[in-house]
Copies of this chain bind each other. A is one copy, B any other.
Amino acid sequence: MLAGMAMRGYHHGDLRRALLGAAVEAIGESGPTALSLRDLARRAGVSHAAPAHHFGDKAGLLTALAVEGFDLLADALGRAGDDLLEIGVAYVRFAVDHQAHFEVMFRPELYRADDPQVVAARTRAGEALRGGLSALPARSAAEPDRDALAAWSIVHGFATLWLAGALPAGTGRDPEVVARSVIRRLFE
> Which A residues contact B (CB, under 8 angstroms)?
31, 33-34, 106-109, 113, 126, 139, 143, 145-147, 149-150, 152-161, 164-168, 170-171, 178, 181-183, 185-186, 188
Q: Which residue of B lies closest to A159 (CB)?
A: B157
A79–B160 CA distance with the chains assembled, in angstroms: 26
Q: List 12 A-B contacts (CB under 8 A).
A: A108-B166, A113-B165, A146-B181, A146-B185, A147-B185, A153-B155, A153-B157, A153-B158, A153-B161, A155-B157, A157-B160, A186-B186
Contact pick for A156, options B157, B181, B188, CB 8 Å: B157
B contact residues around A183 at 8 Å (CB) = 150
A156–B155 CA distance with the chains assembled, in angstroms: 10
